[in-house]
A = this chain, B = another copy of it.
């Protein structure tokens, strides 16, 4: 059995598809390192939540799912915009790992070029469980709550996350007018 698996996402927000992926990976490795990517970004429609908010979301969702804290590391990693150094930058932020789980072609290629073993993750109702679909439902007033763990729904309400997404959707570009 592999000791540690790496799983990278943006989790904007964390949804049931992410949770299923984590459960799947935990059957294959002893510990999972969950990397919160693009950690420095927030307050855009694509990246509405800070990494601090995403840490709370994920920790509460995994707690709700009875996944023991000793089974995972939850680590924010800022983006660097130079692809050739991304893998080594990420490596410096996390414990050592021996297997990478990803379906993303670029992530996969970069880790393979760095001689890591990469495995895909079975998709879980991909058409439903995607952050894009969650944000789409929020913007169109449809039922977004069904796509998220209950504890994430609760947290988003506490921090008025829906209000933030609706407001960000009104901006057409950048900070300044």
Contacts and interface: CB of A to CB of B under 8 A. Distances in A.
Given A39-B93, A168-B106, A84 B50 contact: yes
Q: Which 4 A-B pairs have the closest CB atoms?
A: A37-B176, A84-B92, A69-B69, A43-B83
Nearest to A50: B92
B79 A76 contact: no
- Scoring A8, A38, A105 by chain B CB atoms within 10 A of each residue's CB, the highest score goes to A105
A107 B177 contact: yes
Interface string A3-37: 00000111000000000000000000000000101
A64 interface: no
A84 B89 contact: yes
A78 B171 CA distance: 20
A73 interface: yes
Main secondary structure, interface of A, reads mixed
Contacts of A35: 176
A175 interface: yes
A113 to B, nearest CB: 8
Interface residues of A, number: 59
A85 interface: yes
Contacts of A146: none
A80 B43 CA distance: 13
B175 A52 contact: no
15 contacts: A10-B176, A39-B93, A42-B84, A50-B93, A56-B95, A69-B70, A80-B85, A83-B175, A84-B91, A84-B92, A104-B177, A106-B168, A106-B171, A107-B177, A108-B167
Interface in A81-108: 82-89, 91-96, 102-108
